[in-house]
Chain A
Amino acid sequence: MSEGVAATEPGPAPSAPVPEPTALDPDRPEPVIRTRRLTKRYGDLTAVSKLDLAVYPGEIFGLLGQNGAGKTTTILMLLGLSEPTSGEASVVGLDPAWEPREVKRRVGYLPDAVGFYGGLTGRENLRYTARLNGLRRDEAESAIDEVLEQVGLTDRANDPVEQYSRGMRQRLGIADALVKSPDVLILDEPTTSIDPLGVIEILDLLRKLVNDRGLAIMLSSHLLSQVQSVCDRIGIFAAGRLIGVGTVDELARQFGDGTAVIEVGLELPTQADVDRAAAALGAIPAVDSVEAAGLGNGTWRVHVRPASAEARVRQDILVAAVDHGLRLTALRPVVPSLDEIYRLAVERPIVKRGGVKRRGTGRPVGEKRPE
């Protein structure tokens, strides 16, 4: 398998490729969020259907799906703000339907389109949250100072929130979720309607929080590139169902068209070199097709089928370059784009969903895919 592809993921990514651990897996920490066949129906509409999910300490888990796919409903059930129709959930070892206050004491939540009391200052808003969480006055003030520092709002803390920009409100929202020193952070669309620079700031902040505090973050988004850039694992939601879980690579393997792409940077001064390169790359076994770049410095794209042969093909390219005297400038596997995976996953016919559903029995995803 293409182990080297996972280079984009900093932080403690889960080591096992199996998204659903079993009792036989003793090294794995207990999940902080775990759902079993969690279902929510509104009348005839099934908002969330038989959801099995696990989120572990120290990871960022992304819930990916279109609007109305059931992400927010799932989050509300995890917080005990909405009662599941059937199935059960466990958050920090507690059932949110039965002990919502204990769960909410340990879980920081940033709602979709978070709002604050505009007339109060940022600090006063946080103080209210701290008081509601039962923090003593001195505890509250030090916690507020700390989280304001973390989200970079210390300078503006004493301005009324109505003077804040969208991005500042969102950061204040994260500070608000953090002020209770939670074990888990649940963020609903944390980057919606924020300018690109603000998004980068927020995503950096989240990564820093996971690294510094070791908490687990679950975030929902429909912005694929952001999810891909920050999340360790991703769950793809469509019409209330979780149709795939795993790292980007696992998902690519599960839903991809069976090919992998390697980018090859080549320095080719003459047309003869170009022809030689095309012939050499095309001759490598398991290479499906080659997108040539032409004269001079260029990036060639080599499509590999099956995707599992990608690591070997990369080596073969290196060997071929040496053999044929091609000057390499770069050689790297292309991380599959989540956009592509998502499109494929959502468009996937029902038969395949049946395959996904069987994961509920504890069997790993990878097993179902012939290599």
Chain B
Amino acid sequence: MSATTVPVATEETAKPRRELRVPHGGWRVIAAKELGDDLLSVRFIVLLIVLGLAALVPLYAAADQIRAHATQASGTPAIFLALFILSSPDYSFLQVASFVSIVAPLLGLAFAFDAINGERSEGTLPRLLAQPIYRDDVINGKFAAGLAVIGIVLVAIIGIIAGFGIFRLGIVPAPEEILRLVSWILVTFVYVGLWLAFGLLLSVLFRRAATSALIGFGVWFLFTTFGPFILDAIGKALSPLTGSTTNELIGQAQTQQLISRLLPGQLYSEVTSVLLNPTNNPQATLPGSLGQAQQAQQQIPTLLAFDQSVLLVWPQVVVLVAMTVACFALAYVAFMRQEVRA
């Protein structure tokens, strides 16, 4: 470089510049805009209607059960929560809790699969990044907006179900039931957040929204339908129950369970079963009917206290949170390393 040229650093002092605020908290502006877009979007309205209608069916089944057994059920503890975990006798999958566990991932994917690649294909990403914000403000803002929308949807649907229980059936939740319900909503929120982060990751990795949607829904379908079977098979192959002593058998069974817990859905359903059913422990399955629930209570007459239930599922919750954070971190890093131009 020539010795006669002015060093770049001194130019700043040489030129008096207008005082300009360089704004902070760009992610809040982005989140507010995204939230507004989401709430007015067709997909939000469609999802709300579809989910609302779909929630009615298991709710009806559960209410039916409670009414039919009203006389025997009068003494049943945590009857309010039964609204969420009872199913119709004919279709065991018609159960509010399992319904939520199936649609929750869809909710997460629907609001994230085109978050970044949508901006790219619309040509708005370079313009957005040319504003005085940090690059991660974009992905943070979008994640925050997605979480907010999900929170709204979840609280709305579960609130409607609870309201239905209170008004139509006349069952009022006890304080501890409310606590269980709220903590279940929180865990559901984390679980949906995991799928939201996954959708975000796909939207960063794939340039076309259609591709990321297809992959996202493909993974969801695989996990919810075949996932448990596949992991079950893997678990049995890796650790067959061949032990001769009880300790060996228990160890092998635990290995199988560990493998089955690789699926976030499995973790979530374990948390659900414990939080919504005070009589339950993680190994047991959800009671299929009120009769079973009563049977279970007869076997274990004492209820678990709320803090005990939370203690039971704490590891699962932590893993869910960790998975969500890891997924978001992957999306974050991938986005930060990407070139701006397509």
Tell me the A residues contacting B by CB distance below 8 Å: 22-24, 30-31, 34, 36-37, 72, 76, 79, 81-82, 88, 90, 92-95, 101-102, 104-107, 109, 111-119, 128-129, 131-134, 173, 176, 180, 183, 360-362
| B-side interface mostly | loop
Q: Across the interface, do B29 and A36 meet the contact criterion of CB distance under 8 Å?
A: no
Residues of A within 8 A of B6 (CB): 23, 30
Residues of B close to A82: CB separation below 8 A: 339-340
Assembled-state Cα–Cα distance A297/B27 (Å)? 69
Residue of B nearest to A363 (CB): B2
Once the chains are docked, how many angstroms separate the CA of A362 from the CA of B134? 36
Quick check: A361 and B2 within 8 Å, CB to CB?
A: yes
Q: Across the interface, do B33 and A36 meet the contact criterion of CB distance under 8 Å?
A: no
Q: How far is the CB of A221 from chain B (nearest CB, A)?
A: 17
Query: Are A133 and B14 in touch, CB under 8 angstroms?
Result: no
Nearest CB on B from A108, distance (A):
8
State the CA gap A22–B7 with chains docked (Å): 11
Q: Considering the complex, give the chain B residue whose CB is closest to the CB of A131.
A: B29
B52 within 8 A of A: no
Do A24 and B4 have beta carbons less than 8 Å apart? yes
Which one of B16-24, B213-221, B225-233, B286-294 contacts A? Answer: B16-24
User: Shortest Cβ distance from A126 into chain B, in angstroms?
Assistant: 11
Q: Is the CB of B11 within 8 A of A115?
A: no
Residues of B within 8 A of A109 (CB): 126-127, 130
* Interface flags, B127-153, vs A, CB<8A=1, else 0: 111111110000000000000000000
Rounded to whole angstroms, the CA-CA distance of A129 and B37 in the bound complex is 15
CB < 8 Å neighbour of B123 from A72, A115, A134, A183: A115
Q: How far is the CB of A163 from chain B (nearest CB, A)?
A: 15
A24-B4, A36-B1 are contacts. A116–B11 as well, Cβ < 8 Å? Answer: no
Q: How large is the interface on B (under 10, 10 to 19, 20 to 34, 35 or more residues)?
A: 35 or more
CB pairs A–B below 8 angstroms (28 shown):
A22-B2, A22-B5, A23-B6, A30-B14, A30-B15, A31-B11, A36-B8, A72-B341, A81-B129, A81-B340, A92-B15, A92-B17, A93-B15, A101-B22, A101-B132, A102-B132, A105-B22, A105-B23, A106-B17, A113-B123, A117-B122, A119-B37, A119-B40, A128-B33, A134-B22, A176-B127, A183-B18, A362-B2
What residue in chain B is nearest A132 (Cβ atoms)? B131
Contact between chains at A362 and B127 (CB < 8 Å): no
The smallest C-beta distance from B4 to any residue of chain A, in angstroms, reads 5
Q: By the criterion CB–CB under 8 Å, are B23 and A134 in contact? A: yes
Chain A hits for B129, CB < 8 A: 81
Closest Cβ of chain A: how far from B94's Cβ, in Å?
37
| Given known A-B contacts A117-B37, A132-B26, A362-B2, A95 and B8 have beta carbons under 8 A apart | yes
Q: B-side interface residues toward A, CB under 8 Å? A: 1-2, 4-6, 8, 11-12, 14-15, 17-18, 20-24, 26, 29-30, 33, 37, 40, 122-124, 126-134, 339-341
Known: A30-B15, A128-B29. A115 touches B127 (CB 8 A): yes
Could you say which residues of chain A place their CB within 8 Å of the CB of B127? 109, 111, 114-116, 129, 173, 176
Q: Which residue of A lies closest to B40 (CB)?
A: A119
New contact pairs (18) apart from A119-B37, A129-B127, CB-CB < 8 Å? A30-B11, A34-B8, A81-B130, A92-B17, A93-B11, A95-B8, A101-B22, A109-B130, A111-B127, A111-B130, A116-B127, A117-B122, A129-B131, A131-B29, A133-B23, A133-B132, A173-B127, A362-B5
Q: Pick from B30, B123, B133: contact of A114, CB below 8 A.
A: B123
Known contacts A106-B20, A132-B29: does B123 contact A111 (CB below 8 Å)? yes
Residues of A within 8 A of B11 (CB): 30-31, 34, 90, 93
How far, in whole Å, are A180 and B8 apart by their CA atoms in the complex?
25
Bound complex: CA A92 to CA B18 (Å): 11
Distance in angstroms from A139 CB to nearest chain B CB is 10
Alpha-carbon distance A173/B132, docked complex (angstroms) = 17
Q: B340 touching A76 by the CB < 8 A rule?
A: yes
Q: Give Cα distance in the complex from A111 to B120, angstroms.
A: 12
Bound-state CA distance A274–B21 (Å) is: 70
- Residues B341 and A76 in contact, CB atoms below 8 Å apart: yes
Known contacts: A128-B29, A133-B23. The answer to whether A117 contacts B124 by CB under 8 A is yes
Report the Cα distance A23→B6, complex, angstroms. Answer: 6
Contact of A362 among B4, B18, B37 (CB under 8 A): B4
